[in-house]
Structure 1
Amino acid sequence: MSSRSSPRAVVADDSHFMRSVISDILEEGGIEVVTTARDGRAAITAVREHEPDVVTMDVEMPEMNGIEAAERIMAERPTPILMLSAHTDENADVTFEALEKGAVDFFTKPGGEVSMEMSRLKEQLVDMVLSVAEVDVTTDAGRSEPASASEPTIKPGSVVENPTLVIGSSTGGPTVVEQILSELPAAADLRILVVQHMPTDFTGRFATRLNKRSEYTVREAGDGDRIGGGEALVAAGGRHMEVSNYRSGRLRVALTDDDPVNSVRPSVDVTMESAAAVIDDPLVGVILTGMGTDGAAGIRAIKAAGGTTLAQDEASSAVYGMPKRAVETGQVDAICPLDTLSDRILDAINAEVH
C-alpha cells in the first residue's frame, strides 16, 4: 500500500443499505472503496480483480458466508480482512473461526437504528480499517494455528509459588492468546488474567474457546470473582478488570464502569497497574499484538513492582503498536517471537527460584 491515508477497500455485505452506509463512511474517512460485493463469491472475485489493500467482510451472507470467503481469499490472494459481525452468539463463534482462517480483526455491527449507530461509530470503523490495511498478511505474523496443549516441561517443585500472569492484547490478539494459553502447562500453577480488547458479548465466547484449548480453567470475569492456581479470567467486554485483593495465592477482581483508559474499556493498564499494586508474589506481564498505547503504563508498574515484563516482537505481531509502546518505556525484559513467548513465561517463573 502506497500510503496509510489512502488505502483501497472492497466492502462485502448482503445488505445494499449496509454496503452504502459502510462505503460512505469509509470514503469520508479517506478510504477509497473500489467496489462492493453482495456475497462471499462476489467478494473473492472483487479481490481477484481489484487487488484491494483491505476488505470489510460481513460474517453472514448468502451463497458463501464470510468465513468461507476469508479462507479462500487468504489462500488465493492474501489480503487484510476486517470481519463485520452482529451481536449474536452464533456470529461470535463464526467470527472467531474467521480469525483462525486469517482475518485480522472484527468490528461489531450496531443493532437498532443502524444508520444512526454506524454514524456514531464511524471514526472507530475508519481507524480500524486503516489499522487492518497496514497488516502484512503475506507472512505468518499473528496467524499461527493454535497449538495443542504442551506436555508439562516443569519439574514438580521447581516453580516459585503462586505466580501470576497478566496478558494484554488487541488487534490480531485472539489467536495469539489461544496459542500461548494452549502451550502453558497446568504444572506451572499460574493465575492468569487476560485483557483482550473485544466488545461485550464476545468475551464470554472467547473465554469458552480458551477453556477448551488450554489446561487451565478459563472463564469470563465477573465482579468479585476469585481465582487460584490453574485458573484464568478474561476481562469482560465494556468493563475494566481491577485486581482488588490478593491473599494466600488467591486473587479477587472487581469490574468497573469507569471511563475508558487509552480510549478502551477494558484497559490493559488498569489490570496491570492494579495487579502490580496488590500482588506480592511473582508477577509476569506480557504485551501482545495490537494497535494503540494501552499496556505501556502497566508494564512500567509491573517492572517497578519487581515483576518480569515481556513483549511480542514486530515480526510475529499483526500490529506492532502496543508492543512497540511497551518496549519504548525501556522496562521490557525481553522482546520475543510468538513461538518462544510461552517458554519465556515459564523461564520467568523458574528464574525466581534461583
Structure 2
Amino acid sequence: MTGGRTSVVVADDSHFMRSVISDILETGGLEVVAEARNGREAVDAVRDHRPDVVTMDVEMPEMNGIEAVERIMADSPTPVVMLSAHTDENADVTFEALDKGAVDFFTKPGGEVSMEMSRLRDQLVEIVTTVAQVDVARSHGDESRSHAETGTAASYAADPTVIIGSSTGGPKMVERVLSELPLDADLRVLVVQHMPEGFTGRFAERIDARSAYDVREATDGARIGGGEALVAAGDSHMRVKNYRNGRLRVKLTDDPPVNSVRPAVDVTMETAAATVDDVLVGVILTGMGEDGADGICRIKETGGHTVAQDEATSAVYGMPKRAVETGCVDSVLPIGDVSAGVVDAITREVT
C-alpha cells in the first residue's frame, strides 16, 4: 500500500475506460499508480510498481489479459480483478483467466458506459479493495483429492440435497467440490455463486465437464433428482418451490437483492430448509460479505448439517467467517476436505 492506500495498476486498451476506472478508484480512496494499454505494459507496471492489485481488461493488443495474468502470477504474484464485457466469448476468456490465477471479475457495463460505471462505483471499489487483500502467493490448501473419492462402498442417506454458496474466489472452489462429490451419493445439488447474468450458463457448463453430476444453469420451474445439479442464474434468485418423491423444483424470481446480491445464497438456503424434508446439507465457501449466514442457520434449525470453508484456503474469509460466527456451522474444513465433509454428513444420517 502507498501511504496507507491500496495501490492499483489499471490495464485497458481503451483510454476512455482507463480514465473512467481510474477516476472511480481514486474517488473511492484507492491510488492508481500506473495505467497500461496492453498486457505487456501491465506486466511491466506490476514489476516496476509492485501494486496491491491489478484491474485487467480481457481483450487487449500485443498481450491479452489471460497471458498477462499468467506472466504476473509467474513473475510477481499479485491479485488481479478481470474486467469483462457481457459476451459469451468474454465469459469463456474470463474463466480461463481465473484458471490462470485471477481472483475475481467485474463486468463492464454497456450503453452509456460513464453513467453506468458511476452507478456501479461502490461495487467496483469494494471488489478491488477486497481482492487486494488476497494472498495469491499462498498455496490454497491441500491439492490432493478429497477422501470422498476413495471408492469405498458407503451407505448413504436416501435423497440427500446439498446447497453450496460462494462469492469472491468461488468458481474454482465450487468446481473442485463438485468434481469430488461421488455420483453414488445421489445428491441433488444447488449452487449459488455470486455471478452476473451471461456468465452462469458458461459456469454450469464448466462444472458439468469436470463433474460426474449432470450440471446445468437453472431455469424457472426446473426440476432435478439424484445425480443432478443446478447453478443459480445470474440476476435471479433461485427459490426451492417444492420437493416431492426425491425431486426438487426451483422457481426463479427478480425480487429485490438480498444482502445486496441477486442471486442470494440466503434465499436458496432458506427456501430449501422450509421445503426439503429429507437430508439437507448447507455449504459456505470463500466470498466477501455475509450472504449465507442466515441460510446456514435455517438449515441447522431444521436438523440439517452445515459446513464452512476454513480461513487458510479461502481467498476471502468473509462469508465463511460470518457463517461460523453464527454458531450454526458443524464443520470448518479446508477446501480439500469439503466434499468429504458432505459425504460424512449424509453417511452419518443413515444410522
Q: TM-score range by the shorter chain?
A: over 0.9
- Which residue of structure 2 lines up, in the alignment, with residue 135 of structure 1? 134
Quote the offset at 1:145 in angstroms.
7.4
Q: Distance in 1 between matches of 2:101 and 2:230?
A: 25
- Which residue of structure 2 lines up, in the alignment, with residue 217 of structure 1? 214
Q: Distance in 1 between matches of 2:133 and 2:150?
A: 37
For structure 1, the 5+ residue unaligned runs are none
Q: Distance in 1 between matches of 2:166 and 2:2?
A: 27
- Which residue of structure 2 lines up, in the alignment, with residue 87 of structure 1? 86
Q: Distance in 1 between matches of 2:127 and 2:61?
A: 25
Quote the offset at 1:271 in angstroms.
0.2
TM normalised by structure 2 equals 0.97
Quote the offset at 1:141 in angstroms.
2.9
- Which residue of structure 2 lines up, in the alignment, with residue 49 of structure 1? 48
Letter in 1 for 2:198: D
Q: Distance in 2 between matches of 1:72 and 1:84?
A: 18
Checking the alignment, whether the CA contact within 8 Å between 1:149 and 1:184 is kept in structure 2 is no
For 1:286, which of 283, 288, 291 is the aligned residue? 283
Does 2:343 correspond to 1:346?
yes
SS at match of 1:84: strand
Q: Distance in 2 between matches of 1:35 and 1:93?
A: 27
Quote the offset at 1:155 in angstroms.
1.7
SS at match of 1:192: strand
Identity of aligned residues (%): 71
Quote the offset at 1:127 in angstroms.
0.7
- Which residue of structure 1 lines up, in the alignment, with residue 6 of structure 2? 7
Q: Distance in 2 between matches of 1:316 and 1:246?
A: 34
- Which residue of structure 2 lines up, in the alignment, with residue 116 of structure 1? 115
Quote the offset at 1:353 in angstroms.
1.1
Q: Distance in 1 between matches of 2:126 and 2:201?
A: 25
Checking the alignment, whether the CA contact within 8 Å between 2:146 and 2:340 is kept in structure 1 is no
How much is the aligned-residue C-alpha RMSD, in angstroms?
Answer: 1.7
The 3 A distance-change label for structure 1 pair 315 and 259 is same
Checking the alignment, whether the CA contact within 8 Å between 1:262 and 1:293 is kept in structure 2 is yes
Checking the alignment, whether the CA contact within 8 Å between 1:100 and 1:145 is kept in structure 2 is no
- Which residue of structure 2 lines up, in the alignment, with residue 199 of structure 1? 196
TM normalised by structure 1 equals 0.96
Q: Distance in 2 between matches of 1:78 and 1:176?
A: 20
Task: Deviation per CA, 1:299-336: give whole Å up to 9, x if none.
Answer: 00000010000000000000000000000000100100
| 1:129-278 to 2 correspondences below 5 Å | 129-141=128-140, 151=149, 153-155=151-153, 158-278=155-275
Task: Deviation per CA, 1:28-84: give whole Å up to 9, x if none.
Answer: 000000010000000000000000000000001011100110011011111010000
Checking the alignment, whether the CA contact within 8 Å between 2:218 and 2:232 is kept in structure 1 is yes
Quote the offset at 1:174 in angstroms.
0.1
Letter in 1 for 2:62: E
Q: Distance in 1 between matches of 2:60 and 2:146?
A: 31
Quote the offset at 1:153 in angstroms.
3.0
How many correspondences in the alignment?
351
| 1:285-304 to 2 correspondences below 5 Å | 285-304=282-301
Checking the alignment, whether the CA contact within 8 Å between 1:166 and 1:192 is kept in structure 2 is yes
Q: Distance in 2 between matches of 1:2 and 1:306?
A: 49
Q: Distance in 2 between matches of 1:152 and 1:201?
A: 36
For structure 2, the 5+ residue unaligned runs are none
The 3 A distance-change label for structure 1 pair 141 and 182 is same
Q: Distance in 2 between matches of 1:149 and 1:225?
A: 32
Checking the alignment, whether the CA contact within 8 Å between 2:197 and 2:235 is kept in structure 1 is yes
Letter in 2 for 1:264: V
Checking the alignment, whether the CA contact within 8 Å between 1:228 and 1:251 is kept in structure 2 is yes
Q: Distance in 2 between matches of 1:140 and 1:287?
A: 20
Checking the alignment, whether the CA contact within 8 Å between 1:149 and 1:185 is kept in structure 2 is no
